Amino acid sequence: MVRVGIVGVGANVFNLHAAAIQANAVDVIGVADINVEAAERRAEDFGCPFFAEHGQLLSETRPDAVVIMTPHPFHASVAIDCLNAGAHVLVEKPIAVDVAEADLMIDTARRAGRLLAVNFQHRTRPEIRAAKQLIHEGRLGDLQRLDMLAIWTRPRRYFELAAWRGTWRGEGGGVLMNQSAHTLDLICHLAGQPSQVVAWNRTLYHAIETEDTSLSMLEWPNGALGSLLVSTAQAGDAERLEIAGTRGVLQLARGGLQLLEADEDLRTFLAESQDPFGKPSLEPREVVPEPGGGNHAAIYANFVDAIEHGTPLVADGAEGRMSLELANALIYSNATGQAVSLPLDRSAYTALLDRLRGRD
């Protein structure tokens, strides 16, 4: 069994990880949290020692791997310590707060010869796996458009649960950095990382420092265009995604997937159709996603397989960095009032984040 240490066992997401640990060949040999009561309680559940500081856990237990569930401003420093100590790392999303931190994490993992995985379990949802395969097979043709709507409604009480929520120092952003991490990852996972973005971020109803709503326009290297709306201050669909290409359209919702496919490529239709008002025919095709996945257990199973057999990770550090860089770019675009090209200027964004945190 893979000997695992856990840092941040007081996190709200802990129970999801605990169920995944029980379902996989993982032996928890130590836990750490600055909340010593939480650490002691979890250690009793696992029958292992607890520590108030992750450095102690590393030196006294020497785990094969470490799972990091701390608030994300601490992801980078804890992950780098673990990687340098010779442990593989599975870190909760987002990978970090600032893309420059993610760069350092990825470089450290490479130099240490250790795995850096990011917990993007939504990639393993049946409909997402099926959509990824359809796009890979070319069933949509060349991608032209992506529209994503994701509403993560949160009442005031949610932000009152912890003082760091909705703050620049505590989260490094609002809905873009916290609730929308999976949303941004799915965009990058299915369509690739955009090359240019323009964003309008607003704080509509919540008494927080950071944005509770973001509307943005996206562009990809091949000229495909897209839109994104995410909010914790609206009501509506938890997730609605449509991806259109020259051969078809994919429509995704939680647990649902529909493919509309054309008999010929759109470019051929536009060039050859004799009907001045004609439209290409899009016919529904049956798609039956393979069941399973969509949860933390799938990520742990993949993580263990990657450690023991070299299986590719669902989301390694470089893959996990894409959505963070996109979130940073959207924040930077709103702050500057300009379109932003990716790769993002690391030093410029770090300087902006320092100003927003009141460090200048």
pLDDT computed for residue 162 by the predictor: 87
pLDDT in tens, 48-105: 999 999 999 999 999 999 999 999 999 999 999 999 999 999 999 999 999 999 999 9
Residues of CATH 3.40.50.720 domain(s) within the chain?
2-122+295-314
Mean pLDDT of 178-187: 97
Is the CATH code 3.40.309.10 the one for domain 2-122+295-314? no
Which pair of structure tokens corresponds to residue 182?
């999976």
Q: Is residue 89 within 8 Å of 114, Cβ to Cβ?
A: yes
Report if pTM > 0.95.
yes
Confidence bin at 273 (pLDDT 50/70/90): very high
Q: Is the pLDDT of residue 6 over 80?
A: yes
Render the burial of 144-157: b for 16+ CB within 10 Å, e for the rest: bbbbbbbbbebeee
Cα–Cα distance for residue pair 347/100, rounded to 1 Å: 8
Q: Is 80 helix (H, G, I), strand (E, B) or coil?
A: helix
Q: Is the pLDDT of residue 360 over 80?
A: no
Q: Is residue 339 within 8 Å of 207, Cβ to Cβ?
A: no
CATH architecture observed for domain 126-290+323-341: 2-Layer Sandwich (3.30)
Average pLDDT for the chain:
96
Q: Is the pLDDT of residue 237 over 90?
A: no
Mean pLDDT of 243-268: 96
Confidence bin at 359 (pLDDT 50/70/90): low
Which pair of structure tokens corresponds to residue 288?
């039956």
Residues of CATH 3.30.360.10 domain(s) within the chain?
126-290+323-341
